Amino acid sequence: MKKLLLFLFFASLGIKSFAQTIIQGKVVDETTGEAIPFVSLMIVGTQTTSITNENGDFTIKASNLPVKLKLSHVSYLISETDVKSLSDNFVVKLKQASINLSEVKIDPYLGKRILKNALEKAAKYKDENHYLKVFYRQLTSVNNNPTKIHEIFYDIKWNVTRTTGWIAKQTRFAESKNQIAFDLSNQSYFTFGSSGYLIQPNSGTFITTKTLDKYTIEVERYIEQADQDIAVITCKIKKAGKKQFYTNSTYYVGTEDLKIYRLENNILNLPMNLSNGSNFKYPPIVKTIATFKSTSDSVSVLESISTKMYLSVNYMDRMRSSDLSAIVSSLLTVYQEDDSLKNESFQSVKRDTKDKNIVESIKYNADFWRNNPIVKQTSLEDKFSKMMEGQNAFGTMINP
């Protein structure tokens, strides 16, 4: 099968032992029963944190039981629950925060002022680095079938603009040859570049303090939390060229502290090249969701970022034209902030870095990955990973 390559044009681990109590569960909406992704979890009285994946599932390690879990999400009320014993069906229900629409239409310029103030506040800290331990997983699916997965533990250097440095610590990779070998070569670069909220790209149009006038900016609603309201601010570009690279965004901003807690981007007309004369049937669509946790600092620090790239491609195979649909999804989650990492030698984030090359540069350590509590998976990822493990396909190996 022909291999398609895509290139984007965007300008020691602290795990010593897994002999601990592993709490697993699911977080759902109290009213609808639907899973809630990207819920922050913390064991009260410790620095141990985690986050739910896209299915609302979570895993968090505790030194012993009982413990108290604190759960928070920008659209739900903060909740605490006691965990006294392990359960195979541990479900936590969160109550939606109240929505206030009464002030939304009174001042049409309020959203722009709140967002401008939040961005200007963040800009004061753009040179302040945070050092984070993160886990990254990327899954490629072609025509609804998973074909490739790779996972990386990184140490990263992050600021409110983006991730500026990285070091790969542990990696694994596997792919199936039962499907066309479709590859997005540097999705991690895109994820790193999208991980901040003071975005200053070299090309395209993103929300910055200098581009606010190019957008229609409105407060969609307020989410009433105990300490302050969260303004949900939508930003839609007023006029975009047919081939212009731009994003429409939604910001979740604290009305009192002016911290940004969540950023959702819909990125359109992303410039990309396809190899071997292939072409896009439709322009690529990219969706990102980044969450940020409040600390004692004046800015919110990266907690997670999810990216999904939707691609529809026409390619030539043995002199025949064929179509394929691909989804390349990734999730980066922060599991520890560690200032001692500042002494490490970080590599610069570059768009020509190839993810697979990074994975294969580190010897696969099966013992490290076995029962690792940080490695949370959705059902699709879990099914594909188990199939690859059963075929001894992880590491630098590829299944026959």
Number of domains comprising the chain: 2
Q: What is the pLDDT of residue 395?
A: 57
- In terms of domains, do 287 and 155 share one? yes
Question: Which DSSP state fits 117?
Answer: H
The span from the CA of 178 to the CA of 175, in Å, is 9
- In terms of domains, do 247 and 283 share one? yes
Domain end, chosen from 43, 69, 97, is at 97
Residue type, 12: S
Q: Are 330 and 191 in contact (CB under 8 A)?
A: yes
235 in a domain, yes or no? yes
Q: Are 262 and 74 in contact (CB under 8 A)?
A: yes
The span from the CA of 204 to the CA of 237, in Å, is 12
Burial status of residue 203 (CB atoms within 10 A of its CB: 0-12, 13-18, 19 or more): exposed
In order of 157, 243, 314, the CA distances from 324 in angstroms are: 37, 22, 7
- In terms of domains, do 229 and 207 share one? yes
Radius of gyration over every alpha carbon of the chain, rounded to an integer in angstroms: 21
Residues of the chain with pLDDT under 50: 1-2, 9-19, 396-400
- In terms of domains, do 91 and 144 share one? no
The first and second tokens of residue 270, run together, are: 């992303």
- In terms of domains, do 51 and 144 share one? no
The span from the CA of 116 to the CA of 349, in Å, is 28
Q: What is the pLDDT of residue 17?
A: 39
**Domain interval for residue 48:** 21-97
The span from the CA of 167 to the CA of 347, in Å, is 6
Q: CB neighbours of 247 closer than 8 A, spacing ≥ 6?
A: 204, 205, 206, 207, 237, 265, 266, 267, 268
Residue type, 198: L
400 in a domain, yes or no? no
Domain end, chosen from 53, 73, 97, is at 97
- In terms of domains, do 248 and 333 share one? yes
Domain end, chosen from 33, 66, 97, is at 97
399 in a domain, yes or no? no
- In terms of domains, do 360 and 329 share one? yes
Instruction: Give the distance from CA 300 to its chain's centroid.
Output: 15
- In terms of domains, do 132 and 237 share one? yes
- In terms of domains, do 26 and 136 share one? no
Predicted confidence (pLDDT) per residue in 334-390, tens digit: 988 899 999 999 999 988 888 888 888 888 888 888 778 787 665 656 666 666 666
Domain of residue 59, CATH code: 2.60.40.1120
334 in a domain, yes or no? yes
Residue type, 249: S
The span from the CA of 307 to the CA of 330, in Å, is 5
Residues in the chain: 400
222 in a domain, yes or no? yes
45 in a domain, yes or no? yes
DSSP calls for 254-312: ETTT--EEEEEEEEES--EEESTT-EEEEEEEEEEEEEEEE-SSSSEEEEEEEEEEEEE
- In terms of domains, do 70 and 134 share one? no
Nearest to 194 by CA among 284, 356, 308: 308
Q: CB neighbours of 262 closer than 8 A, spacing ≥ 6?
A: 74, 250, 251, 252, 289, 290, 291, 292
Predicted confidence (pLDDT) per residue in 269-304, tens digit: 877 766 666 777 887 889 999 999 887 678 899 999
Question: Which DSSP state fits 110?
Answer: H
Q: Tell me the whole-structure pTM to 2 decimals.
A: 0.85
The span from the CA of 364 to the CA of 48, in Å, is 27
Q: Are 43 and 106 in contact (CB under 8 A)?
A: no
166 in a domain, yes or no? yes
- In terms of domains, do 136 and 231 share one? yes
Q: What is the pLDDT of residue 10?
A: 42
- In terms of domains, do 125 and 248 share one? yes
118 in a domain, yes or no? yes
